[in-house]
């Protein structure tokens, strides 16, 4: 299989949120005075209001949507699969969505739009089979800001606004909704970048770490010493090694195996000497193999006759963590059968949009079935190791 796209350029080399801003955020979270004053924060969002959430148990319209999947096997036989929600799920999932806002300004407003609804359905709503769902709206850095930065124009805004919102939402959830339940943190791209610093600054080394079932944050960089599973971005939280391990992190960045990241690639590389970016293959955790349980968005060439939002192609896609050109990434391969041409065409289009990003936009979908299964296994393991805290009891935070 061959993927083709434009030659990568340095102008397209972008990571969600400025690294300096996130380091300042980490310093703030850990009580260290950050160098240089930031502009005064805007009024805090009141996350006690359900309308400031995309999904939560008492305001769940964005997640209570059609999640049916058209399944096409290697012989071309088609069947229909439905996700089953579990309103009595024993744990919670807290999600921060990636950069999707198409607004003109550098920071989005707090209105729920089509882009936010689409991404929460594509990446997060299916986890409702395993957990109660919490997904805050937040003032995020917009796509127009990324386009400006790619042209060398630096918009005037406070880059910590998105993180402050998510921290506020997180603290509201912990203090008002969690009641000692186990939780999974899920994020992608800009959302994943924010969550990793929340984990490092507000969870790791605190009583909340006992409630951490896992962290699923594809599309950001988690530094680990070469050959190790912890000791870089996180002091004690390590890369997940088995499906029933809890309190660990799943992270990876996806690129085609036939078009691996080059020197200018935006994801999969650590900037610190002696470190490499973490890569955890969800397929190996879920099944011990490399075949991915992908649920692709059924759009464009993958649109189905029955108009389901997802398309599954069992056995077609596989992934393997691979190190090349100083990048550690999840290399995606496609088997050759009658389904391959359209899936190839779809993934080539993803790469062509931003060649230095590879398959970044599909990070979660490429392994969605595996990730949902892993959350289920981790939940069973966490419940077996932890006595649940009574509803309404005080939670340390």
- Mean pLDDT, consecutive 10-residue stretches, the chain (397 aa), reads 31 38 48 36 83 96 96 96 93 97 87 94 98 97 77 78 96 97 97 96 96 97 90 94 96 96 91 91 97 97 94 98 93 97 97 94 98 98 78 43
pLDDT value of position 92: 98
Dihedral pair phi/psi, residue 297, rounded to 5°: -65, 130
- Give the model's pLDDT for residue 388: 54
The pLDDT of residue 25 is 52
Cα-Cα-Cα-Cα torsion 229, 231, 235, 238, nearest 10 degrees, comes to 0
Residues 6+ apart with CB under 8 A from 176: 48
pLDDT of the residue at 35 = 33
What is the SS3 assignment for 232? coil
> Of 350, 349, 370, whose CA–CA distance to 362 is shortest?
350
Contact call for residues 330 and 313 (beta carbons, < 8 A): no
Give the 3-state secondary structure of residue 134: strand
- For residue 184, the model assigns a pLDDT of 98
* Residue 263, pLDDT score: 87
pLDDT at res. 154: 74
**pTM reported for the whole predicted model:** 0.89
CA distances from 290 to 186, 334, 369 (A): 22, 11, 13
């Amino acid at each position: 299989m061959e993927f083709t796209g434009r030659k990568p350029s340095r102008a397209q080399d972008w990571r969600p949120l400025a690294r300096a801003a996130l380091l300042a955020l980490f310093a703030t979270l850990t009580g260290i005075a950050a160098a240089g004053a930031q502009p005064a924060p805007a009024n805090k969002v009141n996350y006690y209001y359900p309308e400031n959430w995309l999904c939560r148990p008492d305001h769940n319209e964005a997640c209570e949507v059609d999640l049916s999947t058209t399944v096409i096997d290697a012989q071309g036989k088609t069947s229909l699969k439905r996700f089953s929600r579990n309103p009595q799920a024993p744990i919670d999932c807290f999600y921060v969505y990636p950069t999707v806002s198409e607004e003109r300004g550098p920071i989005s407003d707090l209105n729920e739009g089509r882009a936010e609804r689409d991404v929460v359905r594509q990446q997060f709503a299916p986890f409702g089979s395993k957990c109660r769902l919490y997904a805050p709206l937040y003032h995020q850095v917009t796509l127009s800001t990324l386009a400006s930065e790619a042209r060398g124009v630096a918009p005037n805004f406070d880059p910590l606004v998105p993180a402050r919102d998510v921290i506020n939402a997180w603290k509201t959830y912990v203090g008002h909704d969690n009641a000692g339940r186990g939780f999974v943190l899920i994020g992608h791209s800009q959302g994943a970048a924010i969550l990793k610093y929340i984990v490092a600054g507000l969870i790791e080394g605190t009583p909340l770490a006992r409630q951490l079932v896992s962290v699923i944050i594809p599309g950001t960089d988690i530094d680990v010493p070469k050959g190790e599973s912890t000791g870089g971005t996180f002091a004690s939280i390590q890369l997940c090694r088995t499906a029933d391990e809890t309190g660990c992190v799943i992270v990876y960045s996806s690129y085609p195996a036939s078009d691996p990241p080059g020197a200018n690639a935006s994801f999969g590389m650590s900037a610190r000497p002696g470190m490499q970016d973490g890569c955890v293959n969800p397929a190996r955790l879920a099944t011990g193999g490399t075949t991915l349980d992908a649920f692709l968005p059924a759009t464009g060439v993958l649109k189905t006759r029955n108009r389901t939002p997802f398309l599954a192609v069992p056995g077609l896609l596989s992934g393997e963590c691979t190190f090349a050109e100083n990048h550690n990434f999840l290399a995606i391969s496609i088997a050759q059968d009658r389904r391959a041409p359209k899936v190839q065409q779809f993934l080539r289009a993803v790469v062509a949009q931003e060649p230095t990003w590879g398959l970044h936009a599909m990070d979660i979908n490429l392994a969605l079935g595996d990730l949902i299964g892993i959350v289920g296994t981790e939940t069973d393991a966490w419940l077996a190791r932890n006595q649940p805290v009574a509803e309404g009891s005080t939670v340390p935070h």
